[in-house]
Structure 1
Amino acid sequence: MSEVALIVASHGEFAKAALESAEMIVGKQTNCGVLTVEMAFTLDDAIQAMEEQYQQLDHSSGTVILVDILGGTPSNVSGRFVLSKENVLVMSGLNLPLLLDLLTNRNRTLDEIAASLEESYKAGFNNVTKLFEKGEDEDECELL
């Protein structure tokens, strides 16, 4: 199975910066697009920009669109793709741990990816202060 196509979408440059940061960790990615919704964008502008990103990718194994927030323009535009295209998974809550999980599991099915991302999202949110407070001394305060 080939890797799923990926579009990372956000308000402003967040999606672009997130993908660049992830690539610093896991290496350059292929079959990826980025949608950055700018202040001056109309809904039609965002739809057109998403369509342009979509058309540049190989969708034979499906497509994952990772958006910043539910209900925002990137999410709403992506919802149209769920209805008009085949094998599209849209997930919200873009963050670096989530994106890294996705980039290292792109050879899985869309259902497997969705389940993995749901778990990764929960595991990636931690109160680091409490984790460090559990340590008695500096040697015990290392998390990794």
Structure 2
Amino acid sequence: MIDKTAKVAVILASHGYFAKEALHSAEMIVGKQDNCAYLAVTEDLNLQQAKEQMEEMFTQLDTSNGTVILCDILGGTPSNVSGTFCLEKENTLVLSGLNLPMLLDLFTNRQRSLAELAESLEKSYEMGFQNISARFKEEEQEENGSGIL
């Protein structure tokens, strides 16, 4: 049974230190997060070592309410390692496209079910992409430069 007050575990996985820095950026906005880890796949880390590091994260995190793994891109080592864990570990959701809007959404909704989070994170991913130039120019024409914020 899922504890509605508990938070899902979060693992961020990326090439280089993007995941680490995304976590720090999100924490600047929403505050320090617990039950989180990151996997930095660097040039000196092979596939087996990456899998071992992620396995260690699973043992250190409280995954009883599920785990969300956000990785940077589909097809790279971080997503390949993460994908194996969605097969091996129950109640694990793996998504690619790690970005700050997704991370903020996740951190403010960690008590939700994995199905609800999947739907919400997909929307926040899509909403994260905006042509700001076009929006400002459109706003300038409509309201004489007041901006969109």
Which category describes the TM-score, using the shorter chain as reference length?
A: over 0.9
Q: How many residues align?
A: 142
What amino acid is aligned across from residue 7 of structure 2 in structure 1? E
Q: Using the aligned pairs only, state the percent identity.
A: 60
Q: Which residue of 2 aligns with 1:119?
A: 123
Q: Which residue of 2 aligns with 1:129?
A: 133
**Residues 1:9 and 2:1 are matched in the alignment:** no
**Residues 1:70 and 2:74 are matched in the alignment:** yes
* TM-score, scaled to structure 1: 0.96
Structure 1 residue ranges, 4+ long, deviating more than 4 angstroms after superposition:
none
What amino acid is aligned across from residue 13 of structure 1 in structure 2? Y
Point out where structure 1 has 5 or more consecutive residues left out of the alignment: none
Counterpart pick for 1:44 among 48, 54, 61: 48
Deviations 1:62-96 (A, max 9, x none): 00000000111010001111111110000100011
Point out where structure 2 has 5 or more consecutive residues left out of the alignment: none
Aligned pairs (5 A) from 1:26-45: 26-45=30-49
Deviations 1:93-118 (A, max 9, x none): 00111110111110000000000001
Contact persistence 1:7–1:34 (CA under 8 A): yes
What amino acid is aligned across from residue 105 of structure 2 in structure 1? D
Cα distance in 2 between the residues matched to 1:40 and 1:19: 22
Contact persistence 1:37–1:74 (CA under 8 A): yes
- How far apart are 1:52 and its partner, in Å? 1.3
